[in-house]
Amino acid sequence: MLPRSSHSSFVAAALLVIVPALSIRAEVSFEKDILPVFKERCLDCHQAPREVNGKKKEPKAGLRLDAAWAIMKGGENGAIVKPKDSSKSSLHEVLVLPADDDSHMPPKGDPLTAAQIALVKKWIDEGANFGEWKGSTEGMPAELAPTAAVARKREHEEFYTALEKDAKPAAADVLKKAQAAGAQVSTLTATSPLVRVDFLTGVSNCTDAKVAELLPMADNIAHLDLGRTAITDAALASVAKFKRLAKLDLRQTKITDKGVESLTSLTKLQTLNLYGTEVSDASLDLLSKVKSLKQVFLWQTKATEAGAKKLQGAIPGVVVVVK
């Protein structure tokens, strides 16, 4: 037996080793710690319906363990996980039942090891956090899966919220000058400092000089329609200063590749209409620098399908319409 002083020192030393180890023990990772166990022992019976040997195989008891949403939804007998309470979570309960119990899981083969069961328990008690793992979306109920339209709407709202940041409404005298130049100005929403500008009631009177008169409100213009106006490439030197510009319509104007070069500084530009202009594939090479682009319209231009594909390769997800 160790002397009292030696014994105390031994215990203290042991605690110094044990306590830090306990304090830094990482939270259970579902993807790294739990999912491999499910894949090995559970998913054969509990995954999305599939065909096996020519027959459709449904998940037993309607329970799927191949997706975060499905695990939290549970099966025919209801929810199987109550976050932070493994004692009320049947996912844990069925693992610790006697092996001869009809509800014991897994029903075939050896029971899960004590270490594996402990991980499942700890994962539940820590809050049943899936981290970045989502799993299969097959069969996901509509109320749990945001539709593409909802996702697009959210993305749209987030984009314009960011676009408005630090923008202040245009002064009344600035608006009057723009209107005096023949522009129609309207706010994007009732409370937005961003505006839409067009010359639809007098397209033939809109020249390069008229566009230059919009410069005092350059910080507010998000949508600009110059379609069918008398502008030339020179007007785009002014447009290039509209740093919040998201939509630009230049359809049926005299714009050429030289003018498009000015647009490469517009880092917020999402939609560009070049229908009926003189642009060619050279413009598409220039536009590959504008990574914010989502739509480019090129009907009746010199641009080719090959040029369009090249632009799509440079900006993943962009829609380029040539014909």
| C-alpha to C-alpha distance for 188 and 301, rounded to whole angstroms | 30
| C-alpha to C-alpha distance for 183 and 198, rounded to whole angstroms | 6
313 lies in which domain range?
157-321
Residue 223, SS3 per DSSP: strand
On the question of pLDDT at 92 being above 50, the answer is yes
Query: Is 270 domain-assigned?
Result: yes
* Amino acid sitting at position 129: N
On the question of pLDDT at 25 being above 70, the answer is no
Confidence of residue 21 (pLDDT cuts 50, 70, 90): very low
Contact status, residue 136 vs residue 66, Cβ threshold 8 Å: yes
Question: What is the DSSP-derived secondary structure letter of residue 102?
Answer: T
On the question of pLDDT at 18 being above 70, the answer is no
pLDDT in tens, 194-244: 999 999 988 999 999 999 999 999 999 999 999 999 999 999 999 999 999
Q: Are residues 132 and 64 in the same domain?
A: yes
Q: Are residues 197 and 111 in the same domain?
A: no
Query: Is 293 domain-assigned?
Result: yes
Question: What is the DSSP-derived secondary structure letter of residue 214?
Answer: T
Query: Is 6 domain-assigned?
Result: no
Residue 6, SS3 per DSSP: helix
Question: Quick one: residue 131, left, alpha or beta (phi over 0 = left, psi -120 to 50 = alpha)?
Answer: left
- DSSP string spanning 151-169? HHHHHHHHHHHHHHTT--P
* Amino acid sitting at position 25: R
Query: Is 1 domain-assigned?
Result: no
Question: What is the DSSP-derived secondary structure letter of residue 33?
Answer: I
